């Protein structure tokens, strides 16, 4: 039996890996070996802790000491001070972990204290590559319970009664979906997991797969048992190599332990799970497109009905749920429908994971009960807007969603409230914008995304979004007319009504919601030819003020030679030739070049 | 990496992959992934081999290859520079960073330099939003970037 | 693995290895691990405490370390905080004494007077 007095948890999520945590395990081991600590202290590489802003993160238990932005030099200090001598290195703790000289454990820090973790409960706690640690935290208990103590109907009934709704965007009741597939008559059925998380700024599915891959295997096995399937596919983005690798390892371990394969838990239930890699197409997040892609075709949606529950993968009945949805299932089976239904609001039960990003202090992943207000998320957990700037809007739902303004900050978050505000839950991206962001430009950004990702099958989406983008480009370039704004709105409604799949039907949302709440910004672009936030390049002028000392540095750095002036004399920018790259602004030693 | 294998070796490996997946349902995608990995692209002559082996019309394979952004018809440069254009990065200024790289290397977006050294692309959200704005150069990740840091980062690769 | 019982057994074994990760609750044992404490032999004491707790599968007790407690000549020192944060200080500890503290104090709730600071 391994005995350790301390556990050092190193975040191995994508955020922290990107900032260097991959080498930490070796470096800790080397530093610890010098003091012969390797037998007393255990190193654990975990999944994402959630507070990516503070990465790379290292947490030392039992104290729960929360070290942030750890560097190689810090490792030696943590080993020599904390692990050897038991003195928490206060200087290296995350700012929120020290309150008037008193150190707080990671669970007492505001960012974590206000959350309720169901789907993310093991992320940052267990080693995702070790099935035993998952089992220690109740892993595979739910599957065992379902297989040996519950009938298929009872499993579906519990999921139904819990009120769980799809976390991928649509919010369709999960239990109902399972019922449809259960009722479908077929020899062969499939379960599938949508891990093709493509919404820019949303990475909760990746975090679950990286931090707790076994929960997906367990949940899919439960779903398969309930609907009568014996085979499953996880369709996962190829852009998530760490998640793919950990899921592969998890599947291998589950097979070895007999938790996948034949006669699971001694019953006659068989289940086999395969991974299918996506290849970079946003539309494959749509269920029928995803199925087409699994079958090896272009990932294009088809009209529904028939729904996948009746005619899915290879024409067979299929249950398709998103990663976060599945991550809730084992907890629901273990704790009961009532436990889950007690969390959240009237029509949205449980918790939701959000990826908080953009102009916010605590960028990262957080899980909150439905019904928490946007203000609590952005200001209490998220820590507010950096650099003393003013909050302007929060964008939810990615390219399918919309912007929510300051006056609606006290809205409790749930599926229906967000739709009422002209946005949507989506997969849970939450991007905060401040006064420096131009809302017309943001709308243009999302349209640019949809145009690129439109599969081209139906005309309203293929042609319509393209025309909308052209109009937005015109407006951002200062060439827009009032007619453009009118056409934009009309076209938006046409596309919403006439498109084949969710991608097209929601593509105009970013435009419609910004038109609704930020019409004045559109008007400023069209009528005054000004971008109030100072983002749209063509509406800006870069000028040199009279503080110029004539050092000629701007002149040398200008890529298009549009700056003239003699040494020690005032320099001038030729506005017609200027490409507004801003290189001169960076170079100016007296900061006399301004963008307005 | 793949580049060290000769053409013949690549085709031999491709045939192995075809043998593994052939006959199973939905075999095309995993084979294309393997081809992209081996050749660094899925050019027409590779598509022809796959077409024959799987008895799938070439037009259909071409359609699949060009549909997905992970598959390319031409290989990328030695260094693939990806500028994340996820929303979090975008609102924190990845647009100007992309412009700056393009200007520094004199290389339009979505193209490869003539010497085959650099390919510059704007990528979808890579999920490292805590580090926004982020760029990747092959396996190296640079986060919390400012435009001013770009020249020194690029210099490492230009001189490599 | 063929049954729920197999899983429960595996879980119990696995839990012992990870249950120090979690929120603070219950009793807390703090071991002085400054240079003086280590020199006086605090590490074997610490390891003995951890071992004994795991052997007896005691839940809700956290063993943690701290810096210099301040009375170097009485090292190794450990402090036991009860649920109500009542502190008992044991001095000049050894691995054997540590085991006794676990049995008497933690399990049976009896303070081991002989190990406390004598006037």
Range picked from A125-139, A153-167, B115-129 for highest mean pLDDT: A153-167
- Structural tokens at position A136: 């220690």
Give the mean model confidence (pLDDT) for residues C94-105.
92
Q: Which residue of C has its CA nearest to A87?
A: C67
Say yes or no for a CB contact (<8 Å) between A5 and C35.
no
For residue range A472-491, what is the model confidence (pLDDT) as tens digits? 999 999 999 999 999 999 99
The CATH number corresponding to A541-595 among 3.30.70.20, 3.40.50.720, 3.40.1800.10, 3.40.50.1100 equals 3.30.70.20
Q: Which of A172, A173, A180 is nearest to A159 (CA)?
A: A173
Exposure string (b/e) for B33-69, b if CB count within 10 Å is 16 or more?
bbbbebbbebeeebbeebbebbebeeebbeebbebbb
Q: Which residue of A has its CA nearest to B63?
A: A298
> Do A572 and A561 contact (CB within 8 A), yes or no?
no
Say yes or no for a CB contact (<8 Å) between A85 and C63.
no
Give the mean model confidence (pLDDT) for residues A348-354.
95
Query: Do the two chains C and B touch, given a threshold of 8 Å on CB pairs and at least 3 pairs?
Result: no
In B, which residues are within 8 Å of A534 by CB distance?
A: none
Percent of chain B with pLDDT over 90: 78
Q: Is C18 contained in some domain?
A: no
Interface test with C, best of A1, A5, A108 (most C CBs within 10 A): A5
Smallest Cβ–Cβ distance between B91 and the set A52, A206, A358 belongs to A358
Tally of domains within chain C: 1
| Strand pairing category for A351-358 and A429-434 | parallel
Tell me how close the Cα of B5 comes to any Cα of chain A, in angstroms: 23
**pLDDT for the residue numbered C25:** 64
For chain A, the domains span 6-109, 131-341, 351-434, 439-526, 541-595
pLDDT at C77 over 70: yes
**pLDDT for the residue numbered A2:** 63
| Beta bridge pairs of residue A6 | A41
Give the mean model confidence (pLDDT) for residues A359-376.
94
Burial label, A306 (beta-carbon count in 10 A; 0-12, 13-18, 19+) = middle
pLDDT at B95 over 70: yes
pLDDT at B74 over 80: yes
Smallest Cβ–Cβ distance between C34 and the set A85, A258, A266 belongs to A85
For residue range A235-248, what is the model confidence (pLDDT) as tens digits? 999 888 889 999 99
For chain B, the domains span 7-67, 79-158
Smallest Cβ–Cβ distance between B87 and the set A294, A297, A358 belongs to A358
CB atoms closer than 10 angstroms to residue A79: 24
Domain topology for A6-109: Glutaredoxin (3.40.30)
pLDDT at B23 over 50: yes
**pLDDT for the residue numbered A1:** 47
Using the Cβ of C85 and the Cβ atoms of chain A, whether some distance falls under 8 Å is answered with no
Main-chain dihedrals φ then ψ at residue B155, nearest 5 degrees:
-55, -40
Q: Which chains would you list as touching C if contact means 3+ CB atom pairs under 8 Å?
A: A
**pLDDT for the residue numbered B2:** 43
Give the mean model confidence (pLDDT) for residues B76-93.
92
Give the mean model confidence (pLDDT) for residues A5-29.
90
Peptide bond into A305 cis (omega under 30): yes
pLDDT at C46 over 80: yes
Give the mean model confidence (pLDDT) for residues C58-87.
80
Helical segments of chain C, H only:
4-18, 35-40, 42-55, 95-101
Q: Which residue of A has its CA nearest to B127?
A: A203
Say yes or no for a CB contact (<8 Å) between B67 and A203.
no
Give the mean model confidence (pLDDT) for residues A115-120.
92
The yes or no reply on domain A131-341 and CATH 3.40.50.300 is no
Give the mean model confidence (pLDDT) for residues A89-118.
86
Q: Is C44 contained in some domain?
A: yes
Say yes or no for a CB contact (<8 Å) between C54 and A105.
no
Percent of chain B with pLDDT over 70: 98
For residue range A400-456, what is the model confidence (pLDDT) as tens digits? 999 999 999 999 999 999 999 999 998 899 999 999 999 999 999 999 999 999 999
User: From CA A413, how far away is CA A531, in angstroms rounded?
Assistant: 31
Q: Which residue of A has its CA nearest to C14?
A: A136
Task: Count CB pairs under 8 A between chains A and C.
Answer: 110
Q: Which of A363, A408, A355 is nearest to A382 (CA)?
A: A363
Interface test with C, best of A86, A132, A140 (most C CBs within 10 A): A86
Judged by average pLDDT, the poorest of A72-81, A95-104, A298-307, A492-501 is: A95-104
In C, which residues are within 8 Å of A107 by CB distance?
A: 22-24
For residue range A311-332, what is the model confidence (pLDDT) as tens digits? 999 999 999 999 999 999 999 9
In A, which residues are within 8 Å of C3 by CB distance?
A: 144, 148, 265-266
- Structural tokens at position A223: 């779903």
Which comes out higher in pLDDT, residue A250 or C8?
A250
Tell me how close the Cα of C90 comes to any Cα of chain A, in angstroms: 18
Peptide bond into A56 cis (omega under 30): yes
- Chain B stretch 105-134, residues whose beta carbon is closer than 8 A to a beta carbon of chain A: 123-132, 134
* CATH C-level class of A439-526: mainly alpha
Tell me how close the Cα of A1 comes to any Cα of chain C, in angstroms: 8
Boundaries of domain holding C67: 25-115
Q: Which residue of A has its CA nearest to B29?
A: A296
Half-sphere exposure of A307 (CA within 13 A, CB side): 12
> Do A561 and A568 contact (CB within 8 A), yes or no?
no
Looking up residue C104, the CATH number of its domain turns out to be: 3.40.30.10
In A, which residues are within 8 Å of C29 by CB distance?
A: none
Say yes or no for a CB contact (<8 Å) between C24 and A135.
no
Q: Which of A161, A199, A414, A461 is nearest to A322 (CA)?
A: A199
Say yes or no for a CB contact (<8 Å) between A3 and C51.
yes
Domain topology for A351-434: Ubiquitin-like (UB roll) (3.10.20)
- What confidence category does residue A166 fall into, taking pLDDT thresholds of 50, 70 and 90? very high
| Beta bridge pairs of residue C62 | C28
- Structural tokens at position A404: 């929510």
Q: Which chains would you list as touching B if contact means 3+ CB atom pairs under 8 Å?
A: A
- What confidence category does residue A40 fall into, taking pLDDT thresholds of 50, 70 and 90? confident
pLDDT at B1 over 80: no
**pLDDT for the residue numbered C33:** 78
- Structural tokens at position B8: 């013949």
**pLDDT for the residue numbered B3:** 52
- What confidence category does residue C74 fall into, taking pLDDT thresholds of 50, 70 and 90? confident
Token pair 């929960």 in the structure block, residue: A215
> Do A353 and A204 contact (CB within 8 A), yes or no?
yes
In A, which residues are within 8 Å of B69 by CB distance?
A: 279-281
pLDDT at A158 over 90: yes
Q: Which of A115, A234, A225 is nearest to A159 (CA)?
A: A225
Q: What is the mean pLDDT of chain A?
A: 93
Say yes or no for a CB contact (<8 Å) between A200 and B87.
yes
Tell me how close the Cα of A265 comes to any Cα of chain C, in angstroms: 5
- What confidence category does residue A182 fall into, taking pLDDT thresholds of 50, 70 and 90? very high
Say yes or no for a CB contact (<8 Å) between A19 and B143.
yes
Percent of chain A with pLDDT over 90: 79
Tell me how close the Cα of B87 comes to any Cα of chain A, in angstroms: 5
**Rounded to whole angstroms, what are the CA distances from A333 to A125, A139, A145, A340, C13?**
21, 12, 8, 10, 23
Q: Which of C80, C44, A57 is nearest to B131 (CA)?
A: A57
**pLDDT for the residue numbered A125:** 87
Say yes or no for a CB contact (<8 Å) between B91 and A276.
no
User: From CA C95, how far away is CA C76, in angstroms rounded?
Assistant: 10
pLDDT at C84 over 50: yes
Say yes or no for a CB contact (<8 Å) between B132 and A357.
yes
- What confidence category does residue C24 fall into, taking pLDDT thresholds of 50, 70 and 90? low
Instruction: Give the homologous superfamily in CATH for domain B79-158.
Output: Glutaredoxin (3.40.30.10)
- DSSP secondary structure, chain B, as one string: -GGGS-HHHHHHHHHHHHHHHTTSTT-HHHHHHHHHHHHSS--HHHHHHHHHHHT--HHHHHHHHHHSTT--SS---SEEEEEE-SHHHHHTTHHHHHHHHHHHHT--TTEE-TTS-EEEEEE---S-GGG-S-EEETTEEE-S--GGGHHHHHHHHHT-
- Structural tokens at position A138: 């109740």
């Amino acid at each position: 039996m391994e005995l350790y007095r301390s556990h050092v948890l190193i975040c191995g999520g994508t955020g922290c890996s990107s900032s260097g945590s991959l080498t930490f395990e070796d470096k800790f081991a080397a530093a610890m070996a010098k003091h012969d600590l390797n037998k007393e202290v255990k190193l654990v590489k975990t999944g994402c802790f959630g507070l990516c802003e503070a990465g790379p993160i290292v947490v030392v238990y039992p104290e729960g000491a929360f070290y942030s932005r750890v560097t190689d030099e810090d490792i030696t200090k943590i080993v020599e001070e904390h692990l050897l001598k038991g003195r928490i290195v206060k200087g290296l703790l995350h700012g929120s972990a020290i309150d008037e000289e008193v150190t707080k454990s990671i669970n007492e820090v505001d960012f974590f204290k206000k959350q309720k973790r169901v789907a993310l409960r093991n992320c940052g706690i267990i080693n995702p590559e070790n099935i035993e640690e998952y089992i220690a935290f109740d892993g595979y208990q739910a599957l065992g319970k379902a297989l040996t103590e519950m009938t298929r109907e009872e499993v579906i009934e519990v999921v139904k009664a819990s009120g769980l709704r799809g976390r991928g965007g649509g919010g369709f009741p999960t239990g109902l979906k399972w019922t449809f597939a259960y009722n479908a008559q077929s020899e062969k059925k499939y379960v599938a997991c949508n891990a093709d998380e493509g919404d820019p700024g949303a990475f909760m599915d990746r975090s679950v797969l990286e931090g707790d891959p076994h929960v997906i295997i367990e949940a899919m096995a439960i779903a398969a048992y309930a609907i009568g399937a014996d085979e499953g596919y996880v369709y996962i983005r190829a852009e998530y190599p760490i998640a793919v690798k950990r899921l592969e390892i998890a599947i291998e371990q589950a097979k070895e332990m007999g938790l996948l394969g034949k006669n699971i838990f001694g019953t006659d239930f068989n289940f086999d799970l395969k991974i299918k890699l996506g290849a970079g197409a946003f539309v494959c997040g749509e269920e029928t497109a995803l199925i087409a892609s699994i079958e090896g075709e272009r990932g294009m949606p088809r009209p529904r009905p028939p729904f996948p529950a009746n005619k899915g993968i290879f024409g067979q009945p299929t249950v398709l749920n998103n990663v976060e949805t599945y991550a809730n299932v084992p907890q629901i089976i273990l704790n009961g429908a009532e436990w889950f239904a007690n969390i959240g609001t009237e029509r949205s039960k449980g918790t939701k994971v959000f990826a908080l990003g953009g102009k916010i202090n605590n960028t990262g992943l957080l899980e909150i009960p439905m019904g928490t207000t946007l203000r609590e998320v952005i200001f209490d957990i998220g820590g507010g807007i950096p650099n003393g700037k003013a909050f302007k809007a929060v964008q939810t739902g990615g390219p399918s969603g919309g912007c929510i303004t300051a006056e609606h900050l006290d809205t409790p978050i749930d599926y229906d409230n967000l739709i009422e505000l002209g946005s949507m839950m989506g997969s849970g991206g939450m991007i905060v914008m401040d006064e420096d962001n131009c809302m017309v430009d943001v709308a243009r950004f999302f349209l640019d995304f949809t145009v690129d990702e439109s599969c081209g099958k139906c005309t309203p989406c293929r042609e319509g979004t393209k025309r909308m983008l052209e109009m937005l480009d015109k407006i951002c370039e200062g060439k827009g007319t009032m007619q453009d704004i009118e056409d934009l709105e009309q076209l938006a409604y046409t596309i919403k009504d006439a498109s084949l799949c969710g991608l097209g039907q929601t593509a105009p949302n970013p435009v419609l919601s910004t038109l609704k709440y930020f019409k004045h910004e559109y008007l400023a672009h069209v009528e005054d030819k000004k971008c109030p936030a100072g983002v749209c390049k063509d509406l800006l002028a870069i000028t040199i003020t009279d503080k110029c000392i004539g050092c000629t540095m701007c002149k040398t750095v200008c890529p298009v030679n549009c700056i003239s002036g003699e040494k020690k004399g005032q320099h001038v920018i030729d506005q017609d030739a200027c490409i507004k790259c801003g290189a001169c602004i960076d170079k100016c030693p007296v900061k006399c070049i301004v963008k307005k | 990496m793949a580049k060290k294998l000769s053409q013949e070796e690549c085709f031999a490996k491709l045939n192995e992959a075809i043998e593994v997946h052939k006959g199973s349902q939905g075999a095309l995608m995993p084979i294309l992934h393997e081809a992209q990995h081996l050749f660094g692209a899925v050019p027409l002559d590779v598509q022809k081999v796959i077409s024959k082996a799987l008895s799938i019309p070439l037009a259909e394979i071409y359609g699949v290859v060009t549909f997905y952004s992970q598959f390319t018809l031409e290989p990328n440069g030695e260094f693939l520079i990806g500028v994340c254009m996820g929303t979090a990065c975008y609102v924190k200024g990845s647009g100007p960073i992309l412009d700056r790289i393009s200007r520094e290397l004199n290389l339009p977006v979505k193209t490869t330099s003539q010497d085959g050294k650099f390919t510059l692309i704007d990528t979808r959200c890579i999920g490292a939003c805590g580090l926004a704005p982020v760029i990747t150069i092959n396996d190296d990740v640079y986060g919390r970037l400012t435009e001013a840091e770009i020249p020194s980062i690029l210099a490492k690769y230009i001189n490599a | 693995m063929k049954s729920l019982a197999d899983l429960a057994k595996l879980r119990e074994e696995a839990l012992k290895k990870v249950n120090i990760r979690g929120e603070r609750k219950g009793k807390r044992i703090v071991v002085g691990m400054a240079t003086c404490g280590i020199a006086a032999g605090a590490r074997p004491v610490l390891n003995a405490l951890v071992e004994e707790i795991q052997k007896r599968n005691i839940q809700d007790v956290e063993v943690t370390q701290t810096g210099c407690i301040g009375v170097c000549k009485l090292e190794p020192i450990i402090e036991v905080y009860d649920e109500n944060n009542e502190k008992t200080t044991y001095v000049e500890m050894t691995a054997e004494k540590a085991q006794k503290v676990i049995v008497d104090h933690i399990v049976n709730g009896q303070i081991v007077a002989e190990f406390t600071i004598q006037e």
